[in-house]
Structure 1
Amino acid sequence: MGVMFLFPGQGGQREGMLRELPEHREVERTLEEASDTLGRDIHEFETAEALRTTDNVQICLCTAGVAVSRLLEAEGARPDFVGGHSAGAFAAAVSCGSLDFADALRLVRLRGRRMRSAYPSGYGMGVVTGLVRRQVEAVLSAAKLPVYIANLNAPTQIALAGELTALDAVLEACKAKGANRASRLNMSVPSHCELLRPAAQALEEALDSVEVRDPSVPYAGNYKGRALRTAALVREDLARNIAHTVRWHEVVTLFYELGARLFLEMPPGQALTGLARAAFPDARAEALSVTRTDNAALLARRERERRA
């Protein structure tokens, strides 16, 4: 049996999310390191105004994820697997030792800025539930509009990305096909599709000057849907997942098959916890935004003791 740390992507961010983190020496150390790296007080990035831009959102997500994962490890709760959804991949890479935190912050800032400058308006994302992939693909094929499958979060939860007018038309078509839900997401850019290939190229170039190490535990590859164990593959995933479909359900299912039975989602997210609970009823999933960190650390230590 094993413990998997989950790091959420955009969607769950909120004003003051970093001030809500638990009081702990590792959290304080992480916040100070973030401020030093960025040259500004990290709390300036979590205001309602600041969180309107995707680069600030990604900076805060990375900081929160790294802070709480460091807290857990300091309390003896170490992961056997790590996975980050979309932008969460950078915090996951820090957690498994592949990437330095300072480098991760610089990279997510670049990532967000490139995404924002590529499509400053008129583009976004939506989610469809209640239809399987082939049904959504049939709708897209019939529509022939600039809309793409972005995230395969669950067999019947699929995120789409594209131009907003076209996206709305596709969402309405999905409703007509029987979708339980088909609505826009709180995203202002078309993530995880070919529209962001230039942003992926910029990230790839930036990563060429950053040290990336072999992960200490298997890392969930977003776009290949595989367990990654080498620096080269982690580097590739960090650079390219922004322009490819995230195969989240596939890779988390693989980690479940490899033994993951306790899923701990870092703040501020809860969506990945819900997906894990629905997919793996005999496993346990907890979101650290609502579960006390001391309880989560205890669960993780007990999981490790059962394997000893």
Structure 2
Amino acid sequence: MTTVMLFGGQGSQRPGMLHRWAELPEVADHVAEASAVLGEDMWDLDSELSLRGTRAVQLSLLTLHSGINAALWNRGFRPDTGAGHSLGAWSAAVAAGVLEFSDALRLVDVRASRMAAAAPAGYGMSAVVGLSEAAVRSLVAATADEVWVSNLNTPLQCTVSGSDAALDRLRLAAADAGAQRVVRLDVAVPAHSPLMTPARAALEDAVADIRAGRPAFPLLANCSGRLLRDGAAVLSDLVASTDQPVQWSSGMAGVTERGVTNWVQCAPGQSLLGMLRGFDGQFRCWSVDSVGLDETVARWRVTEGR
């Protein structure tokens, strides 16, 4: 048996998500550390109003993921592989020991702030469901405007990033082309598009003095969909993926071929588990949000024979 720990990205946030886990010591400790590092009260960042901003979303997700992972680790939970989608890849890097939580906070602060500054208003992302990557790329090319294919999530689900006007035009074109649905995502920036290149450049400067640790388990690269076992390679992928498409589909296909049987998504949400329906395989899936910490560890122990 093998277990993959999944960490969702921007769009998986929920108002009050830190407060929901406030009684968990490891989450409270991470919120306190984040507040000290950033010089502000992190408990204020998970309000519905605050989460309209990219910076609050990314920092809150990183803090919650890291606190919950620490709690699982303290209970003996040990995944064989880690995979984070977009911002979630930073959480996965902390979970595997590639980055110290404090370093990840500072870097994600740079990432989120510069992403928001690069496209301050009138931009976002949409998911196109039911069309192939080739079909979506044809629609994007025909739109001939500020819109790009950004995340390749499953064989029949891609996201596109761009201006509000371009996303509206693409939504109509995708519907005419036979898409099952086009969903506007709760993401305020055109992530993983060329518009994010200034944010990537800022990150390249910010990581210059960061020393990456050796991963405790392999991590899935967002840019290539390959498993990485070298800390420097993980850090390089985190930076590069800022303005590059997330190759989630090819990554998940490669991981499933390794015989993975347990897929666990860290809170909040379970969107990444839903994407597994696009792949062949026998999966045992659950989210920490749904079953809690103790049940997560209990299920893992039974299926792994621990």
Q: Which amino acid aligns with 1:303?
A: T
Which residue does 1:275 correspond to in 2? 275
Aligned letter for 2:191? S
* 1:240 Cα deviation after fit: 1.1
TM-score normalised by the chain length of structure 1 = 0.95
Shift of 1:24: 3.3
Q: How far off its partner does 1:165 sit?
A: 0.7
Instruction: Give aligned-pair identity as a percent.
Output: 37
Question: Counterpart of 2:49?
Answer: 49
- 8 A contact 2:222–2:248 mirrored in 1: yes
Supply the AA of the counterpart residue of 2:150.
A
Q: For residue 305 of structure 1, what is the aligned residue in structure 2?
A: 305
Name the count of aligned residue pairs.
306
Aligned to 2:21, the other structure's residue is in SS state coil
- Counterpart check, 1:246 vs 2:241: no
Please show how residues 166-185 of structure 1 align to structure 2 within 5 Å: 166-185=166-185
Q: Give me the whole-angstrom Cα distance separating, in 2, the residues matched to 1:37 and 1:276.
A: 36
Q: Which residue of 2 aligns with 1:148?
A: 148
Gaps of 5+ in 1: none
3-state secondary structure, aligned to 1:33? helix
In structure 2, the CA distance between the partners of 1:40 and 1:272, relative to structure 1 (3 Å rule), is: same
1:132-281 pair list within 5 angstroms: 132-281=132-281
**Structure 2 CA distance for aligned equivalents of residues 14 and 213 of structure 1:** 31
Q: Measure, in 2, the Cα distance between the counterparts of 1:259 and 1:233.
A: 24
Segments of structure 2 that go 5 or more residues without pairing to the other structure are: none
Q: Give the counterpart letter for 2:116 in structure 1.
A: R
Q: Is the CA contact 2:22–2:28 (under 8 Å) kept in the aligned structure 1? A: no
**Superposed CA offset, 1:63-83 (max 9, x none):** 111111111111111111001
Q: Secondary structure at the match of 1:19?
A: helix
2:291 aligns to what SS in structure 1?
coil
Distance 2:136 2:268 in 1: 29
| 1:278 shift after superposition | 4.7
Q: After the TM superposition, which residues 15-164 of structure 1 pair with which residues of structure 2 at under 5 Å, given as runs? A: 15-21=15-21, 23-164=23-164
- TM-score (ref. length: structure 2): 0.96
Counterpart secondary structure, 2:127: strand
The CA deviation string for residues 211-243 of structure 1, in whole angstroms up to 9 with x for no partner, is 212211110100111101112211111101110
Task: Return the alpha-carbon distance in structure 2 between the equivalents of residues 253 and 303 of structure 1.
Answer: 22
Query: After the TM superposition, which segments of 4 or more aligned residues of structure 1 sit over 6 Å from their partners?
Result: none
Deviation string 1:51-96 (CA, Å, 9 cap, x unpaired) is 1110110001001111111111111111110011001111100000
SS at 1:208 equivalent: helix
CA contact (8 A) 1:77 1:298 kept: no
